[in-house]
Structure 1
Amino acid sequence: MTRASRAGRTGGRFVAAALTTLLLLLPIGASAAADESAKPVVTLSKAEAGKGGEITVKGTGWRPRALLMMLICGEASPATGVAGGTNSCANADGRAVTTDAEGRFSRTLAVAEPPKPCPCVVHVATVQGQQAAVDAEFKVAGHPVAPLPKPAPNAGRLSVVDRTVRLDGSGSLLTWFGAPQARKVVLEFGNTGSAPVVDPVFQVGTSHGVFAPIWEERQWRGTIAPGKRAEVALDVQLPAGAHGDYLVSVKYGPKVMAAQPWGVDRPWGVVLFWLLLGVVVPAALFRIGMAVVDRVRPGALPLRGRSVARHLTVRRDERDAPEESGRRGADGTATTTATTVLPWFTPDTNPGLPAPTHAQVSAPKPHDHTNPPTSRGNS
């Protein structure tokens, strides 16, 4: 294969790869353009009109078959939105409109003076479903104009998006012995206002039984933009040794946003400790008292250890010592024989004595001259 053919084949592969990449990127660009066109847009037939006049409001890129509300609001701009919410709008002169299958609408709107000074806008927002809002700049002829107020740090309005509240965390070995229980109460908030909420301060309260909750401030670090939502986790802690049924409440401003029950187990380690203490301490006091008595009692031998064993051995030897009985032998001498009489043997069948021989049985007794036998004949 020549060098020219190799170069041609390499160039063809490069062109094919470039075309493939271009074809892959075309859907991405088309989808991006579709996303841009899908954003809600509002246009006005007039940029300025006086009270009593009419303007035509048109919109594209909205959700199909969506219900919208159109209002003229003061103290607002497309960049900052309506600072005072619907309280800055001419609500009585508002109009409702429904988009078509392609997300478009067109509706006339009567010009009215809002309760707040201009700059003014035509505020168009969804009523149901996914939230979307667009502000178109508009000037009400003859209406007072004033500078926009500086937004407060927490000018937005927070509301609970999901009523499901959970307590994250668990106890430990220390809490089993009465250490304070600690958890994180987690719930999801959404900003329904037109200004971002920066580092909001909440109040977390815990109540037990019929008692009122004890509130503590908890600051959440973060920013919730208008129309956005965020998961907020706040610390909550009970006093040491707490047990039973508690209620954890979260309050933002004057309103209680959510509440969650919390069942806390009894610290059984403390109960076990007191039981052991009630057994060990009396036993230790008893041993100390017996030791003091043994040392203080005069003339008493300490009855412990080897002394006890020795004392019992001596008493047993004295009790088991055989009894000595005296007898006279054939020659008249006295002999001493140790006899052990058991209660279940008679003296004649005592296994402890040697059996008598035949000679001893048949031998006559010696005649005693000092005590002659007496005849019991007829006198």
Structure 2
Amino acid sequence: MRRIVLPAVAALLLALAGPAGPVRAADGPAVHLSASQAGTGGSVTVSGTGWRPRALLMMLVCGRATPARGVIGGTNSCANGDGRAVTTGADGRFSRRLPVAEPPVPCPCVVHVATVTGARAEADTVLAVAGHPVAPLPAERSAGRLAVLSDTRLTGSGGLLTWFGAPPGRTLVFTVGNTGTSPIENPVFRVGTAHGVFAPEWDERQWHGTLAPGKKAQIELPVELSAGAHGDYTVTLRYAGRVLSEQPWGVGRPWGVTLFWILLCLVVPAALFRVGMAVVDRVRPRRPGGASHRRRLPRPTALLSRPTALLSRPTALLSRPSALLSRPTARLRPPLPRSRTDGSPAPAADPAATTPTLPWFTPDSTPGGPAGRSSAPHDDSPTSPTTPTTKGPT
């Protein structure tokens, strides 16, 4: 009797105490439906447990799928236009109504729930869509089954061309093993690259070789992005409709392209300015007499660097008034007489005709003449004597 009562009391105490923390499914995320069958236009309530807290999920009705084999054909077999997004709570649970729509392919159908961001997680549950055609699933190519035995990694690095916008590329390296009962020949993998929350772009990569049951092999598949790609990417590896691995990939910004545009914005205007100045120098009218008569203007920097020279010139001119007075007379000197071609001497020049007449001097007081000397006597000079001076004894 005591053996029966003690377990019952312990169970009652545990029920009254309640769970100590959030309840999670032991085998990963799970999905449950309020009804296993519904018609087009109706709705079902989808609830899930064991998901990552605060995770964004997408719910879709997909055809040609089973929980064991997954969705054959990916999201192309789902009614993407009638999907719903939901965010899990702090305990990893969620509940949301999902409208039932006909998928683009025949049933068997499932409700496919998968994470949008972060670590990949997905779960399927069977849903019978009333009135939608049903077709058998395509036969599996072989009874072999691949499983990833080691962590997937991306090897390689970008070069100088990648820094200038060339397509970045890496090599996806992973080790798989055949856990089935038959060999697998030339398996075809699907490698997808997704940028942020956008859907991945898939490319098929075939590995040439045969993997016997119970054997393993290291496989290397090339991965390449578009030109100029940068940011956070996610590389997804799939085989036979199942996700084998996911690997994050951070691509740096191609700063060489930015540097090229900066230099282009600086060099092109400078080149256009020089071409324009050359054209202006060509079409500018020239002064008569050719390039030899051009006056060279002093450079502003040369004038500013020699302020004492500019200030000393006026004082030099003022200190030499005789030079100012002698220059006009030097310009008015007559040309020297030339000899004739017949050998006869040239006529002498008339001194009266060659005597220059300046506007500020009277004709009888020309500089250099007898009347213009300061030592000659004048009639109107009160200090100069009118009588000639007598010579001294010889």
> TM-score of the superposition, structure 1-length normalised?
0.43
> TM-score of the superposition, structure 2-length normalised?
0.41
Higher strand share: 1
